[in-house]
Amino acid sequence: MIFEKTRDIMLKGINKYAKLFGAQTNQIQIKINAFEDGNLTYTICQEWQPKEEITFLQIMDRKIDLLGYEMLSTPFMHKSLVKFSKDHESELENVSAFLSKYKESVALSVFVNTDCVRSLTLERHFAEMGM
């Protein structure tokens, strides 16, 4: 259930920004960066190039997160990025995760600086994290 809801939220954001930018959904990515204090930033990208920093609420296309999805998502995504930084022996600030549409689901591409070091489906990532 958690994977499905996360997938649906991210696809909604990708679809929203594809329409807003007049782009195909496969040209849109959501970039996530984590900080040592536990905070995350989200940046919408087109063709892997940053367009603008956005919020989780903007991805959800909501004004209020009544069900607390961001509160549930933030620790999981932060833990994921910390794991990726350890796995690839890199500082947290140098690691980014890009979420993009893959078939009817979401792909996760992990970058250290400008190098893609891992790609997997969001579903597989959830499974690897024990979710």
Q: pLDDT averaged over consecutive 10-residue blocks of the chain (131 residues)?
A: 84 96 97 94 97 94 81 87 96 96 94 96 90 74
pLDDT of 125 reads 93
| Residue 47 within a domain | yes
- Sequence-distant contacts of 28-33: CB under 8 A, at least 24 apart: 28/100, 28/101, 29/98, 29/99, 29/100, 29/109, 30/54, 30/59, 30/98, 30/99, 30/100, 31/96, 31/97, 31/98, 32/77, 32/81, 32/96, 32/97, 32/98, 32/99, 33/81, 33/93, 33/95, 33/96
| Residue 103 within a domain | yes
Tell me the whole-structure pTM to 2 decimals. Answer: 0.92
Domain around 24: 2-119
pLDDT of 1 reads 60
| Residue 62 within a domain | yes
| Residue 51 within a domain | yes
| Residue 61 within a domain | yes
In the three-class reduction of DSSP (H, G, I as helix; E, B as strand; rest coil), residue 35 is classed as coil
Asked if 32 and 81 touch (Cβ cutoff 8 Å), the reply is yes
pLDDT of 116 reads 96
pLDDT of 58 reads 94
pLDDT of 65 reads 80
Q: How far apart are CA 79 and CA 98, in angstroms?
A: 15
| Residue 84 within a domain | yes
The tally of domains found in the chain comes to: 1
pLDDT of 57 reads 92
pLDDT of 69 reads 79
